[in-house]
Chain A
Amino acid sequence: MTTLGTRPLDSFVDNDQKPVGYGRMLRKEDPRFVRGLGHYCDDIQLPGMLHMAILRSPFAHARIVSVDTSRALAHPKVKAVVTGADLAEKGLAWMPTLSNDVQAVLATDKVRFQGQEVAVVVAEDRYSARDALELIDVRYDPLPPVVDARHALDPDAPVIRDDLEGKADNHCFDWETGDAAATQAVFDRAEVVVSQDIVYPRVHPAPMETCGCVADYDRVSGKLTLWTTSQAPHAHRTLYALVAGLPEHKIRVVSPDIGGGFGNKVPIYPGYVCAIVASLVLHKPVKWMEDRSENLISTGFARDYLMRGEIAATRDGKILAVRTNVLADHGAFNGTAAPVKYPAGFFGVFTGSYDLEAAYCHMTAVYTNKAPGGVAYACSFRITEAVYLVERMVDVLARELDMDPAELRLRNLIRPDQFPYTTKTGWVYDSGEYERALRLSMETAGYAELRKEQAERRARGELMGIGLSFFTEAVGAGPRKDMDILGLGMADGCELTVHPTGKAVVRLSVQTQGQGHETTFAQIVAEELGIPPADIEVVHGDTDQTPFGLGTYGSRSTPVSGAAAAMVARKVRDKARIIASGMLEVSVADLEWEKGAFGVKGDPTRSVTIQDVAMRSYGAGDLPEGVEGGLQAEVCYNPENLTYPFGAYICVVDVDPGTGAVKVRKFVAIDDCGTRINEMIIEGQVHGGLTDGVGMALMEMIAFDEDGNCLSASLMDYLIPTALEVPDWRTGHTVTPSPHHPIGAKGIGESATVGSPPAVVNAIVDALAPFGIRHADMPLTPSRVWDAMQGHPRPPV
């Protein structure tokens, strides 16, 4: 045997034919991806396919005086040009957003943000479509824009949404949670009160694959097929039916392989609607793929919260209450993707992981002349903002009390015996062992040694910082009694068929953008049914092939659809048990189930496998009375509660005193997502989220100038971490199963994005303590860190 060190050559290759059970398993989707044989939207080529390109507004706010398309139409390769006026004739110039607002598909009266869709060209090839955009003459009458949300409600602010009847200001909504009076009472008697203005800048999910679609209308059958970059194909299908009046059974929405979503691919964008209209009119397949600049300036952004945090405590470090006032910038149209009754998403969990006496939040949301959105950029519906607020405030309090931030957190974490724990804003945390996770993170990082090292370095004038964060997430939206998106309940279906030879097909309502559903869901069914994962095909992303459900975002796949997969497998097993009892001629009660077989209790010689039962179910022999042939089932899973993953993160940074550059030296992430299905995939999800968090903390921001020009319209300006800006992650875990999920699992997709920004910022602020700084806003670029070192931390807006 040849070895490398002590390692045999064959040990290099892991087994992807894993037997039943949770744990590391290689991904079933990878063989196509590593061969370059993934099938993304832009890979689709159909005979006669045309290409669409979008003309966008150069102004943030302007009245449209005229649109002249004659020169574009004269281009020899152009097949159609569509303007807002054309759509208005068909009643399609406006469409509903996911938050019950409306958004212009193509502008008719005004443009309301730079990059807004004004007209589309459909041409024979993608280059000609782009060429023809230059031939459309639009005359604009520029209007003063509202760029700074803090001035959106000024009496003399120009009204952006004059399309809404009677609208005389830029107010979007007000929202509150918690008990204002009780919180005030606690603040009145508190020994220590600190407050801090905190900005969570506008950022963008920027998936590597931009948004796009191929619309193909078959005029004979009347059926529309839409291949599209959608995280929620079923929800999109229903919305197209409701908006465009197309019969729902004549719409097939397919999400092929998706090159990352992170929330960016939840909304319906004007480009999809225009491509559909073009295909309906021209009777040809029409492809639209936006370019990177279009993606950054016009599609769903995230965050953009200006928060004032206040925290009340005793002198010895018992946190009593948290209060916050938030100004939310929703852009030109309220396109927030969140359950309807939650206009601020799940920001209500801003009470964090602490046992408080009171909490209160008031929020005002405003319209500005910026791109619409407010999507979950890996944030579980605004929990990123909530966790950042409370974890920054705890550090501000620690500084005020001159107390170690780890010690302050340990004194205030919710105790294990308090679960299920109802927060002061009404969220029921399902399970947690918070102190165990925090102590594990401190041991893993060597917290005490790090503090010693920091003291030594400080004495030498070096700027080393250690930052902690402890977060609780709320994922798996959601219970249909109070969660819906445009009236669609957030339950998810699942169908499972076991074929005669014992191979199975499971059909999901959710859809993968890289999370590895084809693997994880096979493992869930395998565990329940005793059929190896290799024998289970996972079908997803095609509305003609899968049951209804609301899609993949907000870390909801495992909490909702994963539960559905477990439940449907159990339903199949229940039926199999009845058939097995007939085969073995014993009562159901005399059967025991183990590893994919039913055995007769007390008689090890008599058993039938699930595969035997499958063949019997389709066979010619008699089945027990009342049992139909075949072995399949379907469920629609309505979660009774969200699941609440949590974690403790520690970040160590070094700040260059000469340049303000930050180096993330070390990052320890301890996560608890309950029952762990595939270790490898979980670790990958955490790594990706940590990188998002470092990006937001150090470099990512969608910025605007005073005229509303987007200053982050390319990847040269909107910075995303490369391999050089992030460390080798150190991950670990605890396991606290959820009592509200059939297999005890909680979501993991966004934990690290939620938990890491405060850890990084806390570390940087800690490093800058010698300068008397107690807060500095993201993104902490070298120049902004430099400003903070001069004692003048600059807000980003």
Chain B
Amino acid sequence: MQVRLTVNGDPVTAEIEDRLLLVHFLRDHLGLTGTHWGCDTSNCGTCVVWLDGEPVKSCTVLAAMAGGHEVRTVEGLERDGELDPVQQGFMQCHGLQCGFCTPGMMMTARALLDRNPAPSEEEIREAISGQICRCTGYATIVRSVQWAAAYEACRAEASRAEASRAEASQAVGSAS
């Protein structure tokens, strides 16, 4: 069958087997190997990607079901050569060791911050509780997400301050 979808902003058309899982489509057909496969039962979450902005486990989604929808993977987190604050946070706070669960964790974290810019520790733990990390013990993942939240808050404040400075200087300029 033919499937048409958008992956990380790019339109994709492909001939696929009906039964092809989205995770294998992304990895084996599109070469997007940042999304991993770790279990058969939707327990581990190494395969989490976004389907229309919602985190899904791509080992339990048929590629055909993604037809007409927008998929975003870890390869789509970096924008214009700049790492997403979540990616920076994971590096700053040692939120990864072997790196295998990391793409899925980051996709969930990004989705969480998009709807809740200042999550509590409990909210972060709840958000990632459908995913398993065997290396970190989760505390550093929590810190990584908190880092990204604080960084984004700080950056937003900085741009607000910059805007009001520009506004003020414009006001001063037009007054003189």
Contact = CB atoms under 8 A, between A and B. Distances in A.
A514 interface: yes
Interface residues of B, number: 69
Contacts of B87: 34-35
Interface in B121-147: 121, 124-126, 128-142, 147
B94 A40 contact: no
Given A209-B38, A292-B38, A724-B126, A260 B154 contact: no
A4 B140 contact: no
A726 B38 contact: no
Given A257-B99, A723-B128, A724-B129, A13 B88 contact: yes
A36 B78 CA distance: 10
A729 B121 CA distance: 13
Interface centre among A7, A208, A210, A687 (most CB of B within 10 A): A208
A724 B97 CA distance: 20
A7 B154 contact: yes
Interface in A724-754: 724, 726, 728-729
Nearest to A14: B92
Given A26-B91, A723-B124, 11 more contacts: A30-B99, A34-B83, A34-B99, A34-B102, A35-B34, A40-B100, A257-B98, A259-B36, A714-B43, A722-B131, A724-B125
A2 interface: yes
Contacts of A244: none
Given A12-B154, A35-B78, A208-B133, A716 B41 contact: yes
B137 A209 contact: no
Interface stretch (B61-69, B155-163, B167-175): B155-163
For chain A, give the interface size range. Answer: 35 or more
A318 interface: no
A83 interface: no
A45 interface: yes
A513 interface: yes
A379 B140 CA distance: 23
A221 to B, nearest CB: 27
Contacts of B102: 33-34
A26 B134 contact: no
Contacts of B97: 260, 514-516, 684, 688
Contacts of B20: 127
B165 to A, nearest CB: 11
Contacts, number: 198
A714 B134 contact: no
Contacts of A3: 154
Contacts of A620: none
B145 to A, nearest CB: 10
Interface in B28-54: 28, 31-41, 43-44, 46
14 contacts: A2-B157, A4-B153, A26-B92, A35-B77, A36-B35, A42-B33, A208-B46, A514-B96, A681-B94, A687-B137, A688-B136, A716-B43, A723-B129, A724-B126
B91 A127 contact: no
Contacts of A690: 137
Interface centre among B87, B100, B133 (most CB of A within 10 A): B100
A12 B83 CA distance: 14
B150 interface: yes
A258 B161 contact: no
B125 A720 contact: no
Contact of A33 (B73, B99, B139, B151): B99
A293 B150 contact: no
Given A715-B41, A723-B142, A38 B155 contact: no
Contacts of B141: 723
Contacts of A689: 137
Contacts of A13: 88, 92
Given A9-B154, A127-B19, A260 B134 contact: yes
Given A260-B100, A723-B129, A36 B33 contact: yes
A544 interface: no
